[in-house]
Structure formats: structure tokens, C-alpha cells
Structure 1
Amino acid sequence: MKYMTTYDLMESARNTNEWLGATARAMASYPIFALSMNPMLPLMAAWGEVTERTFSRMVAKPDWGIRSIVGPEGQDHLVDIRTVVEKPFGNLIQFFVRRREPMARKILLVAPMSGHYATLLRSTVASLLPDADVYVTDWHNARDIPVSAGKFDVEDYTLYLVEFMRALGPDTHVIAICQPAPLTLAATAYLAAEEPAAQPRSLTLIGGPIDPDAAATEVTDFGRRVTMGQLEQTAIQRVGFKYKGAGRLVYPGLLQLAGFISMNSDRHSAAFREQIMKVARGEAGDHDAHNRFYDEYLAVMDMTAEFYLSTVERIFKNREIALNQFVVAGKKVDIGAITQVAVKTVEGANDDISAPGQCVAALDLLTGLPAEKKASHLEPGAGHYGIFAGKSWRLNIRPLVLSFIDANSGAPAAEPPVRLAASN
């Protein structure tokens, strides 16, 4: 399937459905048709409106939508998004709050690169912004990156994180959410050995697959069933001529989205049927609950083929992080080299993406870290999304994470650097 044709066929199907929705909405909305009193016309217009919006969102990067926050004095403070480090495959951005002095807490949110944009963390950023200076890894859509920019795999991702942490300095508190948890742990260990003065103060790992074999999920089962050859043949395509990355091998976001939806197809079908009826009755709104969720959920991005394949092979199949055998730029990364950075893991009891046990496995790898610098939390009744953006995050996990950050904000005692041994 590594052809531009297959990529363009998917994009053509998406474009056609968007056009069909727009056509149905326009045709059924002619005023003269209202004289017929045919109940199918409002339904047709509603179907067209929902369909057009659904398929148009799949290729549009959502806006962060964080315009301002309320300060302690009751005044609004405007928020600007500033680029701190600019790289071909992703930038480090800051949510800069105007007229506010630098906060005691400096937080780096490491966003997932798993098919959705970093804007998936919008509510997480908004919840932390009043209490901290917030920085986020804003990963780019691979379809928009020219082939001349080169490759980007799990080692490159890790080195990006190293550069971002180095740019922010040692007073940073890192929060890695879902997919990047193992690579963020590796990046921290890399700094611990190569440049201890640049290590962050604390590291919070939320719902990440440090050891995928610690608890089985549908995701880990898939990783065991499929071979790398099968995965490369069925999942990898070349970007078509419509985008700047034409010719780049990618794992398409539209293919990932199909997988997402198939996991809960009944629930998604019911949600769209209900939304069509609401639109037909005039009860839907541009920013109602359905549109707020699906405008983000349906907005997907392509991943480079090498990043997707190396994640499956090295993190899930070979378990290089779990076995402490990960190599970056020819150097073996020893998780045990982390001796100063406080580490906390957060898991959801009902997480069906990264099940309980997968993330807390990180603490066993931290053989050089004192017990008092390790912490873990299992949130009862919480699913995957809830532990970083839902009710569980707002009510329980966020306060716990901020308390953990505050408890580990002091400067650590100086230690001599430990150099990494070169891999064989």
C-alpha cells in the first residue's frame, strides 16, 4: 500500500463525503421546498450539515482557543502562543500570559504523537495556566513536512525532548501524557547521564505504556498479533500531491481515525444519529457537547512511517524501555541514571488504552532513585481520557500533580555526572 494512489483515494473519499454533505444541506434548504412540508427535507439538511462538518474537520488543525485567563485580581489576562524552539517535526510553544510575572511553577506538557494534534490537551493547558507557566510540545502533521527534512523516529523524538528540556532549564516540571511517557522517561535518563544540570525537577507520567506487557489491552494484543512486515504493508502510505510532504512515507491520520472509531462504532453511530435529530429540531449549537468533542476527535494528523513503526517494534514488541535496553544516538540509556528527578505515575482504573500496571512499571526501573522521590496514583473509575482532561483530572489528579510539583521544587544536591556507555 506504499503508494500515493492509496493515500489520494482516501483523501478523495473524504473530500467526496464532505461535498455530498454540503450539497444535501444546500439543496434541502431552498426556501421553496418549505412549502411542501415534507419532514424528510429538514432531516436531509441536518444530515448534510453534520456530514459536511464531520468530514471537513478531519483535515483541519483545531485552534487552541485559549484567549485569556482570569488573574487573582479578577482581571482578564490575554494569552499569546509563542514559539520557544522551532524544529521541522515539532515546536516547543509557550502559553504566555500578558501582564503576569513569571510563575513559581514551570510546566512542560509533552503531548502525544498518536494521531491527534497537541490541541487534544486544550483543557489540560487551560486548567494549569492560572497556576503555572505552561509549555507544550506542538507536533507537526507529517503530511506537511517535505521529504527533504529527513526522517523522524523514536530516537529523534527523544532527542527533541532532550533539546526542549535543555532549553527550559532545570526548574522545569515535566508532565508526559499517554504515548510519550516511555520516551520522556528515556529523555530524562539521557540528560541525567549526559547533562545532569539540565534535568527537570520532577517528571509525572500519566497513562503511558512504560511496560505494555504489564497489563493486556486491545492495543497491546494488536501489537503481538501483527508482524512488522504486515504492518508496513497494510498501514504505511505515501503522502499524495495535495500536500507539502508529497512522497513521504506516513501512517495516515485517516487510517488511524478509522481504527479509533471501529473500537467503539456503536457509540459513535448513536452519537451522530442523535446529533442529526437535534440539528433537524433546531436544538444543536455550533459549540454544543457533540461538536466540542468531535471537532477535536476527528481532527487527525499523519505520523512519519519510521516513528510509527519504531514505536510498535521498539516500545511494544521489543519492550526496550521496559527492559532498560533503549539506545539513542548510539548510546544505551540507563533509566537507573535518574537519581535526582522525582517521578510520579498516574493511572486510571478503567483505562482501556494503557491499562493499570503499564505506567507504574516505571518506578521499578528507577533503581537509582530514592523511594521518597517516587510516587504513584491509581484513580478509581477513570478511563484514559479522564485522567488528563476529564472529571478525574479536574477534581482529583490535577491537585495531586500540583502538590507533587510543589514538594519537589527545591534545587537538588549536586552530583558528579555519570557518562553513558556506548552501545555495542
Structure 2
Amino acid sequence: MRYMATYDLMETVRNTNQWLGASALAMASYPAFSVFPNPALNWMAAWGEVTERTFSRMVMKPDWNIPPFVNSEGQDRIVVEEIVIERPFGDLLHFRVQGRSAPKRKVLLVAPMSGHYATLLRSTVISLLPDCDVYITDWHNARDIPVSAGKFDIEDYTLYITDFMRELGKDLHVIAVCQPAPLTLAATALLAEEDPTAQPSTLTLIGGPIDPSAAPTEVTDFGHSVTMGQLEQMMIQRVGFKYEGVGRMVYPGLLQLSSFISMNAETHMTAFQDQINRVANGEAHEHDKHNKFYDEYLAVMDMPAEFYLSTVDRIFKAGEIASNSFTVKGKKVDIGKITDVAVMTVEGTKDDISAPGQCIAALALCTGLDASKKASHLEDGAGHYGIFAGNSWRKNIRPLVLDFIDDHENATPPSYRKRGKPVKDAANMNVAV
């Protein structure tokens, strides 16, 4: 598998399908065919439109497209993206709200490097902007990073996060979503020991695999069912000649996407069949529910091979975070050193990627943290996506996270945000003992 030819073959298949879709749409749309209306041509055009859009999205990084929001005084606030720190494998991105000078919570969203771009958290960013000054880790597609930039594994990832925290300084609130949760916990512990003044005020871990063995899922079962040698042979390829990262070893986004889809193949097949029918019947539009979801879902990025392999080996197989034996550059990171950072975990009862029990394990690892600084929330009926971007996030989890931030924030003025019930009375909010 580890050849440029294999990588280029996958890109050739994708490119061919995109061309077939475009060709079918163009042929079925000839004006002359309108003289003799034929439902089959309508269906052919619909198939072509959906197919071309589907395969073209797989190599496009989505735009953030953060809309303006209206403040409490009825004024539009324009949001501008600014790069604060630029690095080869990822940037620290700031969403600056023009004209806003009121005190606000400073929040760093740590986005996953697990196959999709950071734009997967677009709705999370939008929901936080009215109440927070939002920053995010914007990871780069490994196929576009020259080999000369060097390697990038989970230790490098952890150090990137510590650097971003140092840059943002005190009174910072960190929210890590899914994959980066264990490494963000390690980064916080590293700062607690080496640079306490750079620690965040709060750390919220959402659906992350702190202890994957606590509640096995299909993802964890796969990690234990193959050896590292088999995984490297099956999953790792070398970037082909089309991209700037030619020769770099990666876990390809297209290969990841095939794995994502195979987990719910029937659901995705039905969704695309229904969309073709809607297009044929004139019921679909550019920004309908299907396009909005799949434009993001299909946009995948390559991961550096060393990052992917070290994640499986050290987080899932060896459980280094779960056993508090994780090291960075040869130095042990002791999670028990966290004593001043309030830590909250969020899980969903129907999360089939990081099942309930995996994330809350972080609280037991924080042996040096007082119980008053620990909290957990289990969202009933929520799946993996819902706990950070769906209805569950908007209606229940987001308010609880903001309340948790306010309870452990010195810089946020009283009554800056209209609070609901106190955290101790909030539904499903448990202070961990």
C-alpha cells in the first residue's frame, strides 16, 4: 500500500467519478432534449449533479463562512478570521468580532485531527461567538505539507497545544472536542508542571477517548484487532505527485472516508438516493439539509502517518493517557499535577465513537484536583456529533459549559450572560467526587 501509485490511483478514481457526474449532467441538459421530455434524462441529470458535487467536495477545504450576528443592542457584528500563530502543521486561528469591546470569555477550541477539517466545528464556533472570544486550532492537510517540514506525531501535537495556550495567556478556557481530549489533558498537565502561569482557567473535554478501554466501541475494537505492522501496511500511503507534500507518508483522507461511510453504508446510500430523487423532482436546493451536511462530511484531509500510528499505538493500544504514563520528549507527563484548572467532561448516551465512560475517566486521573473543580455531564439521547454541534449542544450542553466557565472565571463580570439555573441544580450536572 505504501506507494505513490496507490495514492494516485485513489485520486484517479475520485477524479473519474467527478468527471462522469459532470458529463452526465451536461449531456442530459442539452436544450435539444427538451423538445421530447423524458423522465430518464431528468434522472440522469440529477444523478450527474449529485455525483459531481459529491466527488468534488472530497478534495476541497470548506470555507468557514461565519455569518454576522446581532448583539444585544441590535447591531450587526462582522466576524473576521485572523491567524495568530502560523505553523507547518496547523495554525492558531482567531475569530475577531469587529467593533466589540465588551469583556468576554476567551475560549480555545481544540479541533480534532481525525480526518475532517476544523470547519467541522463551524456550528460550535457560531454558537459560542455571541458570548465568547473564540480561537481554534486549524490543522493543515498533510498532503499539502512538504516533507522538509519534518514529522508530526502526538507529542508534537501536544506541544502545539501548549504553545497555543501560552500565546493566549491567563483567563483562558479550553474546550477539546473528541480526538484531542487526551492530548489536551496532557498539555494542561505539562503546563501545570513547567509553566503554571500559562494554565487555562477551565478545561472542558467533550466525547474524548481518555480511556478507550472503559467502554469499547467499534473504533476501539478495530484498534485492538490489528497489529501495528498490519495497520501500517493497510492504511499508510505516500502522497502522489499532484500535491506539495509529494512523498510524505500519510493516512489518506479518501481511505478514511471509505471507513467512515462503511460504518453506516446503508444510511448513506439511502441519503444519496433520496437526494437524487429530490433533484430530479426539483425539490432540492444549493443549501438544503443534505448538501449542508455532506459538503462538510465528505471534505476529508490526510493525516501524517506518524500521528495516526502513534495515536492508535499509544492512546488506544497502550492506553498511556489512561494509565498516566504518557511522555513528551522523554519526560513523563503527570496528570495528577493539575491542581488549579477546573475540569469538566461531556458525554452522550448514544455516542458510538467515544462511548460514555471513556471521557469521564479524566476526572479520576486528576488526583491533585479538588472535587469542587470537577464536573461531568451525560447528555441523554445524544450521539457523538450532537454533543458538540447538534440540538443537544445548543439547547443543553452549551449553557452548562458557559455556566461552568463563569463559575471558575475571574475575568468575566457578574451578569455578563443571563444565567439559567445554578450549575449544581442543572439537569444531569454532577460534581465529581
Query: Is TM more than 0.5 here?
Result: yes
Contact 1:212 1:319 in 2 (8 A): yes
63-72 or 400-409, larger mean C-alpha shift: 63-72
Report the alpha carbon displacement of residue 68 of structure 1 after superposing the two structures with TM: 1.4
- In the TM superposition, what are the counterparts of 1:340-351 in structure 2 within 5 Å? 340-351=340-351
For each residue in 1:335-380, what CA deviation from the matched residue of structure 2 results, as whole angstroms up to 9, or x when unmatched? 0000000000000000000000000000000000000000000000
Whole-angstrom CA distance in 2 between matches of 1:395 and 1:340: 29
Q: Is the CA contact 1:86–1:92 (under 8 Å) kept in the aligned structure 2? A: yes
1:329 CA drift (Å): 1.4
Residue 170 of structure 1, CA deviation: 1.6
Could you tell me which residue of structure 2 aligns to residue 334 of structure 1?
Answer: 334
Structure 1 residues 248-327: aligned runs within 5 Å: 248-327=248-327
Q: Is 1:103–1:131's contact at 8 Å kept on the other side of the alignment?
A: no
Measured against aligned partners, the alpha-carbon deviations of 1:392-413 in whole angstroms (never above 9, x if no partner) come to 00000000000000000038xx
- One-letter amino acid of the counterpart of residue 242, structure 1: K
**Inter-partner Cα distance in structure 1 for 2:29 and 2:37:** 12
State the 1:149 CA deviation: 0.1
Match of 1:239 in 2: 239
- State the alpha-carbon separation in 2 of the partners of residues 104 and 18 from structure 1: 45
Which residue is 2:414 aligned to?
Answer: none
2:69 is aligned with what amino acid? Answer: I
Matches of 2:78 and 2:281 in 1, distance apart? Answer: 37
C-alpha distance in 1, partners of 2:371/2:120? 33
Task: Please say if 1:32 is aligned against 2:36.
Answer: no
Determine helix, strand or coil for the equivalent of 2:136.
strand
Q: Take 1:254 and 1:133, find their aligned partners in 2: how far apart are those partners?
A: 34
Amino acid at match of 1:123: S
> Structure 1 stretch 271-280 or stretch 27-36: which is displaced more?
27-36
Residue 88 of structure 2: aligned partner: 88
AA matched with 1:17:
N
Superposition pairs of residues 95-114 of structure 1, within 5 angstroms:
95-101=95-101, 103-114=103-114
State the identity %. 73
Partner of 1:178: 178
RMSD between aligned residues: 0.7
Residues in 2 aligned to 1:67 and 1:265: alpha-carbon distance in whole angstroms: 33
- CA distances 1:73-128 after superposition (whole Å, capped 9, x unpaired): 11111111000111000000000000001533000000000000000000000000
- The aligned residue for residue 59 of structure 1 is 59
SS of residue matched to 1:191: helix
1:364 aligns with 2:356: no
- Residue equivalent to 2:423: none
Deviations 1:215-249 (A, max 9, x none): 01000000010110000001000000000000000
Name the amino acid aligned to 1:247.
G
AA matched with 1:97: V
The CA distance in 2 between the partners of 1:209 and 1:341, in whole Å, is 20
SS at match of 1:113: coil
Distance 1:102 1:316 in 2: 43
What is aligned with 2:227? Answer: 227
Mapped partners of 1:44, 1:86: distance in 2: 45
Per-residue displacement from partner, 1:171-229 (whole Å, max 9, x unpaired)? 10000000000000000000000000000000000000000000010000000101100
* CA distance in 1: counterparts of 2:137 and 2:70, whole angstroms: 24
Runs of 4+ in 1 over 3 A off after TM superposition: none
CA contact (8 A) 1:347 1:387 kept: yes
- Which amino acid in structure 2 is aligned with residue 63 of structure 1? D
Distance in 1, Cα, partners of 2:210 & 2:312: 13
C-alpha distance in 1 between matches for 2:68 and 2:147: 37
Structure 1 residue 330 displacement after superposition: 1.5
The separation in 1 between residues aligned to 2:67 and 2:177, in whole angstroms, is 23
The verdict on how the C-alpha distance between 1:102 and 1:193 changes in structure 2, with shifts beyond 3 A counting, is farther
Mapped to 2, the partners of 1:263 and 1:204 lie a distance apart of: 28
Deviation at residue 36 of structure 1 after TM alignment: 2.2
Q: Shift of the alpha carbon at 1:38?
A: 1.6
Aligned residues: 411
1:37 Cα deviation from its structure 2 partner: 2.0
Q: Is the 8 A contact 1:211 1:322 kept in 2?
A: yes
Distance 2:79 2:102 in 1: 14
Residue of structure 2 in register with 1:391 after alignment: 391
SS in 2 for 1:174: strand
**What SS does structure 1 have at the residue aligned with 2:78?**
strand
Deviation per residue, 1:14-45 (Å, 9 max, x gap): 00000000000000000111222221000000
CA offsets per residue over residues 279-327 of structure 1, 9 Å max, x none?
A: 0011100000000000000000000000000000000000000000000
Equivalent-residue separation in structure 2 for 1:410 and 1:351 (angstroms): 34
Partner in structure 2 of residue 47 of structure 1: 47
Amino acid at match of 1:216: P
Instruction: Give 1:73's aligned residue.
Output: 73
Helix, strand or coil for the counterpart of 1:388?
Answer: helix
